A = this chain, B = another copy of it.
């Protein structure tokens, strides 16, 4: 027990090295690149570390190596369950790796994002995951100047800072409206909340589709900056009904709103889809078990987070992806709430399986 001089037996790399009978630097290498050691020493260091319960001091490592093993993640909201799926993917992918996640919330403010970015970058993160493509020019410049890999998630656009993974919200919205057209609905309302850039692009897609079909009418649009909720869905739908009582279908910018619309229909005894069809966005779990089951645009959020983190870690470790921009696409999950119109027979409440026809995959964008 005379090995360590510090009180309370602090285990440093030096202690491990001493027990293993090697120099500290060799022990250090064991943790960073075990392959560089001979088999014998590798085993000796390993068992010494285990015996002493050695845990490396990350601060010292970061200071000495001039880099951290932190992946910074900037997302606009913790409330929105869309992001909790993405986060789950990110955390899952980071688990087992040496990297730890540092999460910050921009609250949908690109100025706040810029501030946080400056803070993050100063700590020399190993990599960065940022949401969306609407950074300030200042943020843009900082990201360009930084020497760590960066992944932009949630959507794809023309000028990736580095890597990018997401899908086209514009195309996805067009596909949703296209599906409703196919099913025979023409007078389609739009209900949106929060109206962040991605929701805005969904609105753009909706508008373009409606205009192309010669069906555009501004009275069909209800949008608010208020954060989304199920209750709000009901309220906005009520609004929409008063502006356009003759609507045949509603495209909801997210599933919470769609559920609110469904409940409001039930409250008003409006039959879905016979009187009004509903389509949501994101395909949260509950959509498939609602009554009627609710059509939605599936977005691969968990996979997006997971792939983003995996790509990032690969890039950090020098394995740059051959494809820096990944379009994860979307998929219109057709369910009862958007069954074909003007069929005289009441639609049977059958299972959804048969109705899950794939309408679009990778959004063949840019």
Binding site for B on A (CB under 8 A): 55, 57-60, 62-63, 68, 78-79, 81, 84-85, 87-88, 91, 95, 100-103, 105, 118-119, 122-123, 229-231, 233-234, 256, 259-260, 263, 266-267, 285-286, 288-291, 349
Please, which residues of chain B bring their CB within 8 A of the CB of A267? 291, 349
Alpha-carbon distance A290/B264, docked complex (angstroms): 8
Q: Is the CB of A289 within 8 A of B260?
A: yes
Please, which residues of chain B bring their CB within 8 A of the CB of A60? 59, 63
Alpha-carbon distance A290/B224, docked complex (angstroms): 22
The answer to whether residues A102 and B105 also contact, given A78-B87, A260-B289 and a CB cut-off of 8 A, is no
A364 smallest CB distance to B (angstroms): 31
Copies held by the complex: 2
What is the interface of chain A mostly: helix, strand, loop, or mixed? helix
Q: List 10 A-B contacts (CB under 8 A).
A: A57-B63, A59-B63, A59-B68, A78-B84, A78-B88, A79-B85, A91-B103, A95-B105, A100-B102, A256-B286
Alpha-carbon distance A286/B232, docked complex (angstroms): 10
Alpha-carbon distance A162/B231, docked complex (angstroms): 39
Please, which residues of chain B bring their CB within 8 A of the CB of A101? 103
The answer to whether residues A230 and B285 also contact, given A78-B88, A349-B267 and a CB cut-off of 8 A, is yes
Alpha-carbon distance A263/B63, docked complex (angstroms): 56
